[in-house]
């Protein structure tokens, strides 16, 4: 039985992963790839680069919304004060913008809420000698450590977004130094 190499008639397309985002350098001329059964050289022509779609930069209005959210504080800490009667994890320090997701993808720069570093990633703990479990009792769950429990306690993404919009519209500025931090 004669063994011949398989030659694809259609090129493979990268749908996900590294191959879809990797940059393929363009050659200035034809590149010889291999030889077929008859000895004829198969040539490949350079193609355009494959790159991921660039993410749009936030507009001026979206950046102003982020500043307005930061000066009003963390949404989860606000809910701790008003509904759960727990402690605040942050008083205007280390406030971050959390992009809400839909199907595992960012919805855009407009769909954001302000969270303190503890409620967002749970890495910077208020008291260093205590572990995360002790902090979770006092300050509530962190989205970085327990996303399901965070959504059960502090509501789903749509409700958090509505609360953030309400806070921007109705609450006075509580932490003016938070606007200067970023």
- Segment 36-48, tens digit of pLDDT: 677 676 665 555 5
Q: What is the DSSP letter of 178?
A: G
Residue 27 in this model has a pLDDT that exceeds 60: no
Euclidean distance between CA atoms 120 and 34, whole angstroms: 52
Per-residue tokens: 23: 């940059």
26-29: long-range contacts, CB 8 A cutoff, minimum separation 24: none
Q: Is the pTM of this model over 0.85?
A: no
173's CB contacts (< 8 A; 6+ apart) are 71, 72
- Please measure the distance between the N-terminal and C-terminal CA atoms of the chain and give it in whole angstroms: 69
Quickly count: other Cβ atoms within 10 Å of residue 167's Cβ: 18
Q: Is the dihedral of CA 102, 103, 108, 114 positive or negative?
A: positive
C-beta of residue 71 within 8 angstroms of C-beta of residue 180: no
Euclidean distance between CA atoms 180 and 131, whole angstroms: 30
Give the pLDDT confidence score for residue 177 in this predicted structure. Answer: 81
User: How does residue 9 score in pLDDT terms, banded at 50, 70 and 90?
Assistant: low
Residue 26 in this model has a pLDDT that exceeds 50: no
Cα torsion 72, 156, 152, 133 to 10°: value is -50
Calculate the average pLDDT of the chain: 80
Domain locations along the chain = 1-54, 60-179
Pairing of strands 41-44, 31-35: antiparallel
Euclidean distance between CA atoms 158 and 126, whole angstroms: 28
Residue 143 in this model has a pLDDT that exceeds 90: yes
- Segment 66-102, tens digit of pLDDT: 999 999 999 999 999 988 888 888 888 889 999 998 8
Residue 118 in this model has a pLDDT that exceeds 60: yes
C-beta of residue 174 within 8 angstroms of C-beta of residue 73: yes
Range 56-68 average pLDDT: 94
Range 43-66 average pLDDT: 77
Q: What fold is seen in the domain 60-179?
A: Herpes Virus-1 (3.30.40)
Q: Is the dihedral of CA 87, 76, 135, 98 positive or negative?
A: negative
Give the pLDDT confidence score for residue 182 in this predicted structure. Answer: 59
Give the pLDDT confidence score for residue 88 in this predicted structure. Answer: 86
Partners of 35 in the β-ladder = 41
């Amino acid at each position: 039985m004669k063994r011949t190499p398989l030659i694809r008639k259609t090129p493979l397309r990268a749908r996900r992963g590294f191959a879809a985002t990797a940059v393929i350098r363009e050659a200035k001329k034809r590149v010889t790839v291999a030889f077929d059964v008859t000895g004829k050289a198969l040539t490949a022509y350079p193609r355009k680069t494959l790159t991921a779609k660039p993410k749009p930069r936030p507009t001026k209005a979206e950046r102003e919304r982020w500043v307005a959210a930061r000066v009003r504080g963390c949404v989860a800490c606000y809910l701790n004060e008003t509904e759960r009667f727990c402690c605040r994890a942050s008083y205007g320090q280390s406030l971050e913008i959390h992009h809400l997701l839909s199907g595992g993808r960012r919805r855009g720069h407009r769909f954001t809420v302000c969270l303190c570093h503890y409620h967002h990633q749970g890495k910077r703990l208020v008291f260093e000698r205590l572990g995360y479990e002790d902090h979770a009792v006092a300050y509530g769950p962190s989205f970085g450590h327990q996303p399901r429990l965070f959504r059960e306690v502090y509501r789903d993404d749509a409700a958090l977004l509505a609360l953030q919009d309400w806070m921007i519209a109705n609450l006075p500025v509580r932490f003016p130094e938070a606007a200067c931090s970023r």
